[in-house]
Amino acid sequence: MIPPRPLWFLLAALPLLLCPLRAAAATVRLLVAIGANVGDPDDAVLRFADDDAGRVRQLFVELGGVRADRSYLVVDQPASVVRQRLAEVTGRIAELRAAGDDAVLIVYVSAHAKGGVLHLRGSHLPLAELRDSANQAGARLSVLLVDACESGTLARRKGGRAGPEFSVSLEQIPLHGQVVISSSGPGESSEEWDSLKGSLFTHHLLTGLRGDADVEDDGRVSLAEAYAYAYRRTVAGAAGAGQHPAYAWELSGTGELILTEPQAARSALIFPAALAGRYVVASQPRPDVVAEVEKAPGRPLRLAVPPGRYLLRKRAGASTGLLELELPYGGERQVREEELKWRPYTEVALKGGHVELRGSALLGFARLESAPVRGTGTRLSAGLGYRHSWGSWWALGVVSFNQAGYPAVELEVRERALSAGVTAGYRWLEWALVPYVGMGVELTGLEQRLRRQREEEIGDTFGVEPLPPRRALGLGLGPVAGVEVPLPGQAFALLQAQFLLRYLPSTEQPALLPAAHVSAGAGWRF
């Protein structure tokens, strides 16, 4: 008997309903960042190619959807190592494709090049071979970014047709193929600037990818936006005969490739619409330029930056406006023109771009310390301090006071101590919690007042005067270690420990004894 039609359809579809649905294919991004300061023996040694490769890797891990374990950093290695890394990436892409995922490969290189050949630590890698290796790695789409002299020879299309912009169609047909962007045209040099501590093209490309190239204000930076921004800024800033980035592609499909999503960054600087001018954002304490924006009035800007500390500079004639910005734990910080502190341009230039705007700080703290007299318990003291810093280096002067009482043999002892100390050392400002170490010296004045049991009775009976107070001056020397915790505004907290070898003249114990302090406090920078 043939079952009714609805039942027949249900029975036919049952195996499909029972089969687990396969997860939709994921798009996985991989990155290879190559930097080589050293080229051929007759090439001038570059200074920042390695750093540029590291910055590109950091940015794509931070904003470009590349996981850290899927990014490769290859610095100052010969061509054989570069080929090996590309082969490893090809293997990982094959694994992804076998799992049903698809891959997008981004390759960045900064090095010497001449005649279409990269110079990598005394060995050669033809740019055409690099392009073909990226193209044949098995990724759905590959993007090749080359910052090298004469790299424009690479941007000669094999197919397709170059144009000023990419399609912005919303049809769900993903792009396939390869995009090549070079920092200079055929026969042109790619410039490296000491003031930027990097190459001109990569510097502007990274600034654009952090959000300044987002002309559509959608919180994302497309490949077209990034290239147009880097081209315009590089051409405007290049010296001599000029530098003109070039690009070519072999693409099929529709849509646009989004390189970064600044809107998703965990920390950012917000430039209100009313601000205008050139702003340079440099990291602290090492004054590396993170971004340089030409802010136009009327358009707000959200510039994604990693959590950390920054010095913002704005040049206006012979003066430079400075603003310290702290984002140690992330979050957003708005840039306000009225908060700029203006200094002569010559002062900023002579100090290498680093000016301590709030080098002074006042501190209050509580301190738990070992007793100057053994067996009499710990002491709790209160103190005030003044700290001055020069970048990562600091010096701190403190004054503290404590008093205590304890029993002795037929005596009651009242003790007061006044200490003054100076400590100096180094702190690591690149971390959210700032560790520091140093060495300190402390001078302690100690007074003990002794009162005998039945003091009045003894005085009346024997006519004996009360015991005179004892006074001593001690000196301690030892290392200190602690951690500083930034708080909102100019406030901070700290926790510190110090070990001392203290000399304190005494008739009841050795004059030289170890001592220790543990301090907790808060401060305000100004």
The per-residue pLDDT of the chain, averaged, comes to 87
Element (H, E) at 226: helix 223-237
pLDDT at 174: 78
State the architecture of 25-263 in CATH terms: 3-Layer(aba) Sandwich (3.40)
State the architecture of 360-525 in CATH terms: Beta Barrel (2.40)
Phi/psi of residue 456, nearest 5 degrees? -65, -40
User: What is the tens place of the pLDDT at every residue in 36-48?
Assistant: 999 999 999 999 9
pLDDT of 336 > 80? The answer is yes
For β-strands 102-110 and 141-147, DSSP reports them as parallel
Sorting pLDDT into bands at 50, 70 and 90, what band is 354? low
- What the block records as the tokens of 417 is 């101590």
User: What is the tens place of the pLDDT at every residue in 273-289?
Assistant: 999 999 999 988 777 89
Whole-number Å distance between alpha carbons of 372 and 340: 49
Q: Which carries the bigger pLDDT value, residue 414 or residue 8?
A: 414
Q: Where are the domains of the chain?
A: 25-263, 266-350, 360-525
pLDDT at 67: 97
Whole-number Å distance between alpha carbons of 506 and 516: 19
Comparing C-alpha atoms, which of 147, 136, 215, 149 is closest to residue 178?
A: 136
Q: Which carries the bigger pLDDT value, residue 464 or residue 118?
A: 118
Q: Are 500 and 515 in contact (CB under 8 A)?
A: yes
User: What is the tens place of the pLDDT at every residue in 460-497?
Assistant: 676 677 788 989 999 999 999 999 998 887 899 999 99
Beta bridge partners of 249: 179
3-state class (DSSP) for residue 334: strand
pLDDT at 460: 63
Element (H, E) at 46: none
Sorting pLDDT into bands at 50, 70 and 90, what band is 22? very low
pLDDT at 350: 56
DSSP 69-114: GGEEEEES--HHHHHHHHHHHHHHHHHHHHTT-EEEEEEEEE-EEE
Give, in degrees to the nearest 5, the angle at Cα 30 between 151 and 148.
15
pLDDT at 315: 85
Whole-number Å distance between alpha carbons of 17 and 9: 12
Residues with Cβ within 8 Å of residue 350, at least 6 apart in sequence: none
Q: Which carries the bigger pLDDT value, residue 56 or residue 343?
A: 56
The model's pTM is: 0.78
pLDDT of 23 > 80? The answer is no
- What the block records as the tokens of 361 is 């700080």
Q: Are 107 and 143 in contact (CB under 8 A)?
A: yes
Residues with Cβ within 8 Å of residue 388, at least 6 apart in sequence: 359, 360, 361, 394, 395
pLDDT of 512 > 50? The answer is yes
Q: Does the structural domain 266-350 have CATH classification 2.60.40?
A: yes
Sorting pLDDT into bands at 50, 70 and 90, what band is 168? very low
Beta bridge partners of 180: 144, 248
Q: Which carries the bigger pLDDT value, residue 387 or residue 116?
A: 387
Tally the C-alpha atoms within 13 A of residue 391's C-alpha that lie toward its C-beta.
Answer: 10
Q: Are 478 and 470 in contact (CB under 8 A)?
A: no
User: What is the tens place of the pLDDT at every residue in 188-198?
Assistant: 888 988 878 89
pLDDT at 166: 34
Sorting pLDDT into bands at 50, 70 and 90, what band is 366? very high
User: What is the tens place of the pLDDT at every residue in 421-460?
Assistant: 999 999 998 788 999 999 999 999 999 898 877 766 666 6
pLDDT at 26: 86
Element (H, E) at 452: strand 434-452
% residues pLDDT > 90 (the chain):
63
pLDDT of 226 > 80? The answer is yes
pLDDT of 69 > 50? The answer is yes
pLDDT at 113: 92
Q: Mean pLDDT across the stretch 508-516?
A: 90
Q: Are 183 and 234 in contact (CB under 8 A)?
A: yes
pLDDT of 124 > 70? The answer is yes
Q: Which carries the bigger pLDDT value, residue 88 or residue 186?
A: 88
Sorting pLDDT into bands at 50, 70 and 90, what band is 162? very low
Q: Mean pLDDT across the stretch 13-41?
A: 74
Q: Mean pLDDT across the stretch 306-327?
A: 89
Q: How many CB atoms lie within 10 A of CB 154?
A: 24
pLDDT at 368: 96
pLDDT at 356: 65
